[in-house]
């Protein structure tokens, strides 16, 4: 039993580590969720108070009402207009958003505009905090697009793909690998035991 547990742990721990990696334009630095917007940074935080006040900054764990807060870390951003658009992957014959970044042409395409779920028009946020709520009614793939513009018309765009609800593309293969690892270890333990009995005889 101890050998089986050690074998399973040895195979599973690397898999657990791989699921902790971030994605998209959001990274985790010093326990903060940081979104890069050009040379500047924005602190991204999400909440679903109806379920928990635990913060998240990548995938949204459940459908339902969600509060998203963007803290403009760099003071330069507070003098620039900030625009936020949340788009759902239209799927089918639309623009396949998924986990990739959109091109400038795709961001302005009619397909993406039609798939917009939430939109905060360009505005100044002198206090450095942008907050909005959105009711995600459907699980699936989304992408957030943050655009900032200065008074000279210079523009920076940052994107962060995310999933609302369970990410089955991660969960199913993950548990399948765990089951495979446990089965393989069980087979090895059984085979070693059988070989020992054979040698004893």
49-76 pLDDT, tens digit per residue, is: 998 878 887 788 899 999 999 999 888 9
- Taking residues 143-164, what's their average pLDDT? 90
What's the domain count of the chain? 2
pLDDT in tens, 90-122: 554 444 555 567 888 888 888 888 889 999 999
78 and 64 belong to one structural domain: yes
85 and 131 belong to one structural domain: yes
77 and 50 belong to one structural domain: yes
98 and 154 belong to one structural domain: yes
Residue 69's domain spans which residues?
31-166
Determine whether 173 is exposed, middle or buried from the number of CB atoms within 10 Å of its CB (0-12, 13-18, 19+).
exposed
Residue with tokens 């018309």: 153
64 and 144 belong to one structural domain: yes
pTM higher than 0.85, yes or no? no
* Res. 1: pLDDT tops 60: no
90 and 19 belong to one structural domain: no
42 and 13 belong to one structural domain: no
For the beta carbon of residue 82, count every other beta carbon within 10 angstroms.
Answer: 21
In the chain, the DSSP E strands lie at: 26-29, 32-37, 40-48, 52-56, 64-72, 81-88, 116-123, 129-136, 140-149, 155-164
Q: How confident is the model at residue 148 (pLDDT cuts 50, 70, 90)?
A: very high
């Amino acid at each position: 039993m101890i050998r089986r547990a050690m074998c399973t742990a040895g195979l599973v721990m690397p898999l657990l580590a791989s699921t902790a990696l971030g994605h998209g334009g959001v990274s985790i630095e010093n326990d903060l969720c940081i979104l890069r917007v050009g040379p500047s940074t924005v602190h991204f935080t999400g909440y679903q108070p109806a379920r928990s006040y635990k913060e998240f900054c990548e995938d949204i764990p459940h459908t339902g009402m969600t509060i998203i807060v963007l803290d403009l870390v760099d003071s330069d951003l507070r003098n620039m207009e900030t625009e936020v658009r949340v788009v759902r992957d239209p799927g089918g014959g639309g623009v396949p958003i998924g986990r990739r970044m959109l091109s400038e042409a795709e961001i302005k395409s009619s397909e993406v505009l039609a798939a917009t779920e939430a939109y905060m028009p360009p505005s100044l946020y002198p206090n450095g905090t942008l907050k909005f709520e959105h009711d995600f009614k459907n699980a699936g793939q989304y992408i957030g697009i943050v655009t900032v513009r200065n008074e000279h018309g210079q523009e920076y765009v940052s994107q962060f793909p995310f999933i609302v609800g369970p990410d089955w593309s991660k969960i199913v293969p993950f548990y399948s690998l765990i089951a495979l690892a446990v089965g393989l270890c069980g087979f090895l333990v059984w085979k070693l035991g059988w070989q020992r009995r054979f040698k004893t005889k």
